[in-house]
Amino acid sequence: MPSISERLSAKDHLAVALDFPNVTEAIALVDRLGNICSWYKVGMELYYAAGDYIVRQLHDRGFSVFLDLKLHDIPNTVAAAVRSVSQTGASLLTIHATGGAAMMSAAAVAAASPGAPRLLAVTVLTSMDAKELANIGIEASPADEVLRLAKLAQTSGINSFVCSPEEVAMLRKNAGPDSLLVVPGIRPTGSETGDQKRIATPTKAIADGASLLVVGRPITRAADPVLAAHSILEEIQEAIEQPIAG
C-alpha cells in the first residue's frame, strides 16, 4: 500500500472486518457490498473456521486481504507461520509486538521472501485502557506503551503498526510517511462503542495520519450495510481532500 503522503481513493482507506463464524455469512456480506471497499479483514474467528479458503476467495475476487491473526509465540513458530501465510495471497499480517524483539526479527526475516505479506506490529489493543494495562502490570499510559512497543518493532525490522485512533498522530510523527498505520476502533458519529475504549471517527483518524481504517460492526451489523459503508466513505473522502498536516 502506498504511503499516506500519496493520494488514494476513499475505498483504499477502508477495510471491512469480516467478523463472522463461517464463510457463508462472510461471503454474503461481500456480495452485498460489492466493490465498495478494496480491503477486507479476516480475523481469528473466521480464519479458524474457514482457513486459507476464505483468504483465497477474497484474493481471487480482486480484494486485498488483511489477515489479523496477531501471531504471538516463540520466534521459530511465528516465522514458520509467516512463511505459511505467504502462500495464501494475504497482503497484511499482524503479529504482537509484546512477543519481543527476537520474535519480531524472525518474523521480519520470514516476511522478506517473495509473496510474503507486509507485517504489522500490534501495539496496545483498542479494548484496553490504562486500568486494563495496570491489571497486567504495565504502569505506563496506553500512549507511552504504544510508542515503546513501536520503537521495539522498528529495531526488529518492522515499521508498520496497528494502533488505536488516539495514537495515530504520535506514531505518524515518529514512524514517518512510509509507515502503514492500520487503525481499528473506528466509530462514525452516533454509533455504539461496543467493547472498544480508544476510538475516533473516520474523519479524525484519517486527518491524524491513518493509512487504513478497520470497520466492523458499524457496517456489518447495520440495518443497511451498503448505506453504512457509503456514509463512512464520505467521511473518509472529506478527510483526504484536506491538506495533510505537517
By annotation, the residues acting in catalysis are 70
Angle, nearest 10°, between helix axes 101-110 and 75-85? 30
70 secondary structure, DSSP code: E
What residues have CB less than 8 Å from 177, skipping those under 6 apart?
Answer: 3, 4, 5
The sign of the torsion formed by the CA atoms of 182, 208, 144, 104 equals positive
Question: What's the N-to-C CA distance of the chain in angstroms?
Answer: 21
Query: What is the DSSP pairing of strand 14-17 with strand 64-71?
Result: unpaired
Residue type at 147 in one-letter notation: L
Residue 66 grid cell:
488483511
Length of the chain: 246
